[in-house]
Amino acid sequence: MDFVRYVKRELVHQNIAALQIGLGIGVSAKTLLDSGFEVDIAEIDPVIYDYAIKYFNLPQPRNSTLTFTLVFIGDGRYFVEKIASNPSYDYVLHDIFTGGYVEPSLFSVEFFTAIKRILKPDGVLAVVIISVTQNYVGHPASIATKTVVATLKKVFKNVVCYLEIPGESEQNITIYATSFGDEIEFDFKQNDINLKDEMYLRTRKSFSTQPRLELDLNGVGPISDNVNPLKALQYPSAVAHWKIVRKVFPNSLLWTEYF
């Protein structure tokens, strides 16, 4: 999802700033840092942030030449609506999957509108949704996936979707959204430090030739704070995820108690 920086923009910007909502192991945040961008993080779980530093080489704030402006441990929606200034970000990365479930309030028209407010006029939003079953948000045929895309189209002028592995039905889907220009285009001619990584180079080359995912949104409405079907739509995926982990950790008392 850090390919947001390859989206063609209207202006040439200095001091590029990005916001990562949902850190994971910190791969995208570190990639943007390696590219010389300032990166803010909003992560609800302090353990995830600590582990990203301890086990996955995420730099600590202001302890190296790779710096974060801010690390916010708490609700990403609260950060966007109450703390972030507008418009302040070139890129927002939205990646909040956890346990076969995503928080429905982070996919509403109201929240995406708040993200649009903190983006610069030619800023770019990237949203990752992850597939587990046909009913899950990330499955290209699922109603949940279509409602997320319909919601983004309600807020942003241009919205495009890409499958991580074309031809596979259960996988990551990355959605890019902008409010400028007539369409979203990528410029893969530019160089960056990550091209020293052979795997990254192969991934970038593969992405540059991928067809976009086209979804039939006929009859699909957007998600709002008042009408949000995402929780119910995700129930089968949460159960499927639970069953998968029970197979991987059959004797894990911790997992059983946690869920």
CA distance linking residue 206 with residue 38, whole number of Å: 27
- Spatial strand order of the sheet with 17-21 comes to 68-73, 38-43, 17-21, 89-94, 119-130, 172-178, 158-163
Q: Of the residues 95, 122, 197, 216, which is catalytic?
A: 95
HSE on the CB side for 39, CA within 13 Å?
Answer: 28
Given a contact cutoff of 8 angstroms between Cβ atoms, the answer to whether 46 and 73 are in contact is yes
| Tokens, residue 68 | 């974060």
Rounded Cα distance between 161 and 141, Å, is 13
Residue 40 known to be catalytic: no
Joined together, the tokens standing for residue 156 give 């942003």
Strand, coil or helix: 26: coil
Strands, E assignment, 36-76: 38-43, 68-73
Active-site residue numbers?
95
